[in-house]
Structure 1
Amino acid sequence: MAYPTGHLVVIEPLRRRHCAECRRGPLPLHILEFNAPRCLDCADLGHLVLLPRGDTALTRRAREGSSLWAVVVRFHRRRKRYERQGLLVEEQALARAESACLADADARERRRARDAARRAAEDTRFTAAFAAAVHDLFPGCPPERARTVAAHTSVRGSGRVGRSAAGRALDEGAVTAAVRASVRHEDTPYDGLLMAGVPRQEARARVAGTIEAVLEGWRAVPQA
């Protein structure tokens, strides 16, 4: 299996390996030279320190500040590929990178707070727009119910229909699907049927008439 090329690659082995040059082992990390494992000392990388993956800013700064660095990979058996575990970098470069990250930690925290506030404002506007779309399609739907449907389906990262491309575009089909799902769970015995062991498709078929009746009633403009 191939692993990243274009730079030095150090392997975190899954099996016990010994250095082909000095015979030390088992090796926690090794580099392949002519298809034979070499320990980091024999490969002239023993002075480098491991920076685990996870902190993007620290990794970038340490890599840029290190005159010699290597990618650490480990083979994932199920995915059948090598995956990055971190970097080996010069200790002084890592220390400088850590100092730089500490120096601008406040600025990055303020940026994260601004981004969170921006996303929250966007979500509030989108939820309101989705609720308005529900009202346009189903004017008989109680306003509080329309807001509840919109709030539920538009949760960021939820994978629900409101966060799909069609949902974000307030497509009629997506809005209707969100309302139908709400009615299925809130106004029919569907959840109880599932808990009783009824297969999902059969449970849906049993409550389909009730759902359509509720939706048809909500499509009607309420009388003043």
Structure 2
Amino acid sequence: MDLVAPVVVEPLKRRRCSECRQGPLERVIVEFNAFVCLDCADLGHLVFLRRGDTALTRRAREGSALWAVVVRHNRRRTRYERQGLLVEESALRRAEAACLADAEARARRRARDAERRAGRDAEITAALEAEILRLFPSCPSDRAAEIAGHASAKGSGRVGRTAAGRSLDRGAVTAAVRAAVRHVDTEYDRLLMTGVPRHQARTRVAPAIEAVLRAWRTD
């Protein structure tokens, strides 16, 4: 049977309990559009575990007969985001002891995982650099390395981290090179800083970009 954990809200404005009138409250349950404190909701005996330690969170949740998810509304992103869990204090103590006992082993595993990820990232960057030089054989090698490193930076969301970029799609690779040329070899950034709208600035620097790309395409 699937478990459905209670959801506890950290309100942006402190509220009072609709049953016992206690407040202002740091955390509440919302029932029938009314705010209820954790004591009245039978969750007052639980303790808060802030998100961040994956192993501790997993173990505390698995060891707690009753637990709840704590969320808070992010106005900028217009969504609720998880802040942590409410778990039984005894379950949290057991989880902390278990994490302390195997902390060294987990640290070694994290180090191995980080090394493997770094190796994969280096392979992605090297493959992208090689493809840039294949498509643009006259591109200076240091520029190709710089473009590849920038476009494939982990967590950047740039072309090199997309599926098209990792598969070395010709259009994606060319887009990464064009973007680099736009910022480094044209007056595009200066135009933006002087108030020129982005689409107008792109139109004005397009001929200069194409001139550089044509030169780099020549073997």
TM-score range, shorter chain: 0.7 to 0.9
Distance in structure 1 (CA, Å) of the matches to 2:26 and 2:213:
63
- 166 and 27 in structure 1: CA distance in 2 versus 1, 3 angstrom threshold: closer
2:162 corresponds to 1:158: no
Letter in 2 for 1:161: V
Q: Which residue of 2 aligns with 1:203?
A: 201
* Contact map agreement 1:190 1:203 (CA 8 A) in 2: yes
2:86 corresponds to 1:111: no
* Contact map agreement 1:19 1:27 (CA 8 A) in 2: no
* Contact map agreement 1:19 1:25 (CA 8 A) in 2: no
Residue 135 of structure 1: how far off its partner (Å): 1.4
Say which is worse superposed, 197-206 or 174-183, in terms of deviation: 197-206
Letter in 2 for 1:65: G
* Contact map agreement 2:56 2:99 (CA 8 A) in 1: yes
Query: Structure 2-normalised TM-score?
Result: 0.83
Distance in structure 1 (CA, Å) of the matches to 2:135 and 2:85:
54
SS at match of 1:46: coil
Letter in 2 for 1:159: G
Q: Deviations over 1:50-103 (max 9, x none)?
A: 222332221221121122333334455676665443322221111110111112
Distance in structure 1 (CA, Å) of the matches to 2:6 and 2:34:
15
Residue 190 of structure 1: how far off its partner (Å): 1.9
Count of residues in correspondence between the two structures = 216
Say which is worse superposed, 27-36 or 199-208, in terms of deviation: 27-36
Q: Deviations over 1:160-188 (max 9, x none)?
A: 11212111111111111111122222222
- 181 and 17 in structure 1: CA distance in 2 versus 1, 3 angstrom threshold: same
Letter in 1 for 2:17: H
Letter in 2 for 1:192: R
2:47 corresponds to 1:66: no
Distance in structure 2 (CA, Å) of the matches to 1:198 and 1:75:
36
Distance in structure 2 (CA, Å) of the matches to 1:180 and 1:82:
38
* Contact map agreement 1:62 1:93 (CA 8 A) in 2: yes
Aligned to 1:57, which of 55, 58, 64? 55
Distance in structure 2 (CA, Å) of the matches to 1:210 and 1:52:
52
SS at match of 1:85: strand
Q: Deviations over 1:114-150 (max 9, x none)?
A: 1221121112222111111111111121222212211
Say which is worse superposed, 172-181 or 8-17, in terms of deviation: 8-17
Percent of counterpart pairs with the same letter?
A: 69
* Contact map agreement 2:14 2:25 (CA 8 A) in 1: no
Root-mean-square deviation (Å): 2.7
Q: Which residue of 2 aligns with 1:127?
A: 125
Letter in 2 for 1:16: R
Residue 8 of structure 1: how far off its partner (Å): 3.5
